[in-house]
């Protein structure tokens, strides 16, 4: 996992300089890089397309932007950081006094060395983001202002990666690809999702796994609108965001609160003894709120470390590649793999010899346990599985009720199934 963590961090570093937004070439460039790690099917949805109650907006692209003093020195330069421009800024080319320019400048007075992240997606505006210290150092006078951008009919871009399973029922894993240079709130989630997909591709999963790389809000809404007819295939889901900071893991439950993915994450986090926090659903945050909207009400939760807007560096230039660590991303990835291993293996069984306890020794089941360090635990797991295999209790039910590790319960189920004592 150490090596994988370093690889994920290297991916974050590659993606970090790109200027992403809810549309545009920055999203395409991001998906092109991700496509080097996992094959992607890229979708282009035209401007003006009706998607549920929304409309796909015009596409925004930017080539250059700066504020220059009378000597031609760029005091704010988009080339240094994609955060320096208000997202979706309309083009501007003008000269104006600092007093007038201030109306279009965004800073963080409480953190004078940080640059904020700001956008104006659905209202035609222009602006720059800069450190308060930079602004304070600007003398009065005239400044050249230029934003070389386009806002015109184009497309919204999103991508999918699908890992076929033994059944067509799906687990969706969703991450947003719309933020510029923000390492934790955006890129860490992309990296964890990508390496999770690579890991699952080496296995033969029970469920079909669909990874969705889409712009926040409008991207998830577009995906839902385009997949409404087959949405019943989605049985479980997880939104990944803020996946690389040093905070404890946080799982936000689905709107249902008792969806299987909720129970699985609660079980895995508790059993692992990792520091963690489980929160109730709220209709605010990332795209879990779209998947959990009442018309769909999917069993989709959200996994992060420090949650949405929960750390000072959130949506600022301080959320950089030093803010995320290989170790934290590797830990987030490990929890995802553990959770999906439980989800994939969780079944309901029926005891084929329910009248009294079947003779396990005659079937060689006790002999198979001989010499194991966990013999007693394995025996108890068999007895619990037999007792609760009534077609109503899942293996997760057995693990929770018995207090035994899910792996022991699943292993007991495998042995009993092979012996012909239980069936699915």
Say if residues 321 and 398 touch (Cβ distance below 8 Å).
no
Say if residues 192 and 236 touch (Cβ distance below 8 Å).
no
Q: What is the DSSP string of 6-39?
A: HHHHHHHHHHTTS---SSSHHHHHHHHHHTTTS-
Residue reference for tokens 């605010």: 284
C-alpha–C-alpha distance, residues 402 and 412, integer Å: 13
C-alpha–C-alpha distance, residues 106 and 118, integer Å: 8
Give the gyration radius of the chain's Cα atoms. 25
Strand segments, DSSP code E, in 186-257 are: 208-214, 234-240, 249-252
Q: 267 among the known binding-site residues?
A: no
Which residues are within 8 A (CB) of 407 and not within 5 positions of it... i.e. 6 or more apart?
Answer: none
Torsion of CA 218, 222, 225, 230, to 10 degrees: -130
Which residues are within 8 A (CB) of 352 and not within 5 positions of it... i.e. 6 or more apart?
Answer: 420, 421, 422, 423
Which residues are within 8 A (CB) of 382 and not within 5 positions of it... i.e. 6 or more apart?
Answer: 360, 365, 412, 415, 416
- Residue of 48, 91, 347 whose CA lies nearest to 207: 347
The H-or-E segment that residue 399 falls in is helix 395-402
Q: 133 among the known binding-site residues?
A: no
C-alpha–C-alpha distance, residues 289 and 296, integer Å: 10
Phi, psi (rounded to 5 degrees) for 254: -70, 170
Say if residues 67 and 144 touch (Cβ distance below 8 Å).
yes
C-alpha–C-alpha distance, residues 386 and 363, integer Å: 14
The strand order across the sheet containing 234-240 reads 41-46, 155-163, 208-214, 170-176, 234-240, 300-304, 249-252, 276-279
Q: 179 among the known binding-site residues?
A: yes
Say if residues 211 and 187 touch (Cβ distance below 8 Å).
no
Residue 348: beta bridge partners? 394
Show binding-site residues: 179, 185, 315
Per the annotation, binding residues for Zn(2+) are: 179, 185, 315
């Amino acid at each position: 996992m150490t090596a994988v963590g370093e690889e994920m961090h290297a991916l974050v570093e590659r993606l970090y300089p790109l200027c992403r937004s809810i549309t545009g070439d920055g999203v395409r460039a991001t998906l092109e890089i991700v496509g080097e790690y996992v094959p992607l099917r890229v979708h282009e949805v035209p401007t003006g397309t009706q998607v549920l109650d929304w409309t796909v907006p015009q596409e925004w692209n930017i080539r250059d932007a700066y504020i220059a003093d009378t000597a031609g020195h760029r005091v704010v330069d988009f080339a240094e950081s994609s955060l320096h421009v208000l997202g979706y800024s309309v083009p501007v080319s003008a000269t104006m006094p600092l007093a007038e320019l201030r109306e279009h400048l965004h800073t963080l007075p409480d953190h004078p060395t940080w640059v904020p992240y700001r956008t104006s997606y659905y209202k035609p505006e222009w602006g720059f983001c800069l450190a308060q210290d930079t602004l304070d150092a600007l003398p009065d006078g005239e400044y050249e202002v230029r934003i070389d951008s386009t806002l015109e009919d184009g497309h919204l871009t999103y991508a999918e990666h699908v890992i076929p399973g033994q059944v067509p029922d799906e687990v969706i894993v969703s991450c947003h690809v719309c933020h510029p240079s923000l390492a934790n709130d955006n890129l860490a989630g992309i990296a964890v999702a990508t390496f999770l997909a690579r890991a699952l591709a080496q296995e033969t999963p029970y469920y079909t796994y669909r990874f969705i790389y889409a712009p926040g809000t409008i991207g998830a809404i577009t995906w839902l609108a385009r997949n409404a007819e087959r949405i019943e295939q989605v049985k479980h889901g997880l939104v990944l965001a803020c996946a690389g900071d040093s905070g404890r893991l946080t799982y936000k439950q689905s709107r249902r609160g008792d969806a299987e993915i909720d129970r699985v994450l609660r079980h895995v986090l508790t059993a692992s003894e990792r520091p963690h926090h489980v929160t109730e659903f709220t209709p605010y945050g990332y795209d879990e709120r779209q998947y959990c909207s009442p018309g769909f009400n999917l069993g989709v939760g959200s996994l992060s470390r420090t949650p949405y807007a929960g750390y000072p560096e959130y949506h600022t230039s301080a959320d950089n590649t030093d803010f995320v660590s290989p170790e934290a991303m590797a830990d987030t990835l490990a929890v995802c793999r553990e959770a999906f291993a439980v989800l994939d293996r969780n079944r309901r069984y029926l005891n084929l010899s329910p009248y009294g306890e079947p003779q396990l020794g005659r079937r060689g089941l006790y002999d198979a346990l001989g010499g194991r360090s966990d013999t007693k635990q394995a025996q108890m797991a068999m007895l619990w599985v037999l007792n609760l295999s009534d077609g109503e209790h899942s293996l997760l039910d057995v693990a929770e009720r018995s207090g035994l590790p899910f792996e022991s319960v699943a292993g007991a189920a495998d042995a009993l199934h092979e012996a012909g004592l239980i069936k699915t």
